[in-house]
């Protein structure tokens, strides 16, 4: 018996699976990831030593007719291929995203034990479709929209090195800017436009641009500021996220569930800029759930400009102790352990 972790395409779908895989590895239970071929999974999983199968799949929602036909063709081929790698005694955990769909269908056809983890505050389309076949559905949020009544709230699995955060004792001026695993052009451009004023105001900036957006963002920075100054650190991809969170005083990020839970467990105040075209606006609802708890704020894309960006940062640093007070009450859930227990392992 092995556990199939199926899904991907973004870090938000991949990293919760890695958190579960860490625990399964410690229990001596074999794991196989079945993921997309976008390249992120290969880069991350190969370094961690996990076995994985890349599937040539693509999104069905939000694309034109021709791309929908291509997506369906790829889906069929991937589902047939998945049959070769999964056995009747295996258990499947769907992590969401279009890369989960072929494995889900193969699992249903083989009448295997199927489980779902929904990271976001709105159930994704693949998870909704497969929910009727799942033995259990694990949810990150108690208020998850479109979830079945039998959903179990377990939180979002976070890698063990990111679960040991503590509230920062001294107030600094370090800003950590993240745009999701692929980066965010609108966040990058706004950060670049604001950088000169922020640096002159005494802030330091650690900015993850995304691999594909690094060169264009660096070029823009060079037009505005001295990129060699020690107060500005620009990277395509941050490998040691635990250290990056530990150094930060404020995190500015998209509001995928992975970023929300990582920042919350790192016990850092956050300014979330939800992706405006996220499915069912789930990133906004992810951010709203923590804003209500008192340690995060939301700045929507439609309201995003340089002056509002700077103003919100200044406002949040002016209230930083209040956010810290709220963060003292954060108790991380061992979501990976809860999922594994719920799968009967």
Show the domains of the chain with their CATH numbers: 3-157+334-342 (3.40.50.2000), 168-327 (3.40.50.2000)
HEC letters along 280-338: HHHHHHHHHHHHCCCCEEECCHHHCCHHHHHHHHHHHHHCHHHHHHHHCCCCCCCHHHH
- 67-119 pLDDT tens trace: 777 778 887 888 888 899 999 899 999 998 888 989 999 999 999 999 999 99
**What gap in Å lies between CA 323 and CA 331, rounded to an integer?**
15
Task: Check residues 37 and 242 and name the one with the higher pLDDT.
Answer: 242
The pLDDT value recorded for residue 125 is: 82
Phi/psi of residue 158, nearest 5 degrees: -125, 140
Which three-class secondary structure state does DSSP give residue 252? strand
Res. 168: pLDDT tops 90: yes
Q: Coil, strand, or helix at residue 25?
A: helix
**pTM: predicted TM-score of the whole model, two decimal places:** 0.88
Evaluate if residue 60 carries a pLDDT over 70.
no
- 43-51 mean pLDDT: 91
Residue 172, judged by CB atoms within 10 A of its CB (0-12, 13-18, 19+), counts as middle
Non-local (6+) Cβ contacts of 66 within 8 A are: none
Share of the chain above pLDDT 70, in %: 98
- The side-by-side arrangement of strands in the sheet containing 52-55 is 52-55, 31-36, 3-6, 91-94, 113-118, 136-139, 152-153
Task: Give the pair of three-digit tokens for residue 248.
Answer: 């930060």
What percent of the chain is modeled with pLDDT above 90?
A: 71
Q: If DSSP codes are grouped into helix, strand and coil, which group holds residue 249?
A: coil
Phi and psi, residue 155, nearest 5°: 85, -175
Q: In Å, what is the CA distance from 120 to each residue of 21, 134, 167, 259, 260?
A: 20, 18, 25, 11, 10
Between residues 200 and 279, the one the model is more confident about: 200
The pair of structure tokens assigned to 84 is 């070769």
Pairing status of strand 250-253 against strand 270-272? parallel
pLDDT at 21: 96
Q: What is the mean pLDDT of residues 262-280?
A: 94
Distance CA 331, CA 264 (A): 9
pLDDT at 103: 94
Instruction: Determine contact, residues 91/1, Cβ cutoff 8 Å.
Output: yes
pLDDT digits 0-9 by tens, 125-139: 888 888 899 999 999
Burial of 19 (0-12, 13-18, 19+ CB in 10 A): buried
**Tell me, what's the pLDDT at 79?**
87
């Amino acid at each position: 018996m092995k556990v199939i972790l199926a899904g991907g395409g973004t870090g938000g779908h991949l990293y919760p699976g890695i958190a579960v895989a860490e625990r399964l590895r410690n229990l001596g239970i074999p794991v196989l990831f079945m993921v997309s071929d976008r390249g992120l999974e290969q880069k991350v999983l190969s370094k961690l030593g996990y076995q994985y199968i890349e599937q040539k799949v693509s999104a069905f929602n939000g694309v034109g007719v021709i791309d929908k036909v291509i997506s369906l063709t790829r889906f069929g081929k991937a589902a047939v291929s998945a049959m070769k790698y999964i056995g009747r005694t295996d258990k499947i955990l769907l992590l969401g995203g279009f890369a989960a769909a072929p494995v889900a269908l193969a699992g249903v056809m083989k009448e295997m034990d199927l489980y779902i983890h929904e990271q976001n505050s709105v159930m994704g389309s693949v998870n909704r479709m497969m929910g009727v076949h799942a033995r259990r559905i694990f949810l990150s949020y108690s208020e998850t929209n479109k979830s079945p009544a039998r959903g179990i709230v377990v939180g979002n699995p976070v890698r063990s090195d990111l679960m040991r955060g503590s509230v920062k004792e001294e107030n600094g001026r370090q800003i950590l800017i993240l745009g999701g695993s692929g980066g965010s052009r609108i966040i990058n451009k706004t950060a670049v436009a604001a950088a000169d004023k922020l640096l002159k105001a005494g802030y330091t900036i650690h900015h993850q641009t995304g691999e594909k957006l690094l060169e264009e963002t660096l070029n823009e920075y060079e037009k505005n500021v001295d990129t060699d100054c020690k107060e500005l650190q620009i990277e395509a991809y941050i490998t040691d996220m635990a250290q990056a969170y530990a150094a930060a005083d404020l995190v500015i990020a998209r509001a995928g569930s992975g970023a929300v839970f990582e920042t919350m467990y790192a016990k850092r105040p956050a300014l979330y800029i939800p992706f405006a075209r996220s499915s069912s606006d789930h990133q906004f609802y992810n951010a709203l759930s923590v804003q209500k708890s008192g340690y995060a704020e939301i700045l929507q894309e439609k309201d995003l400009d340089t002056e509002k960006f700077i103003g919100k940062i200044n406002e949040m640093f002016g209230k930083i102790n209040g956010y810290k007070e709220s963060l003292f009450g954060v108790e991380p859930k061992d979501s990976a352990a809860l999922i594994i227990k719920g799968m009967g392992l």
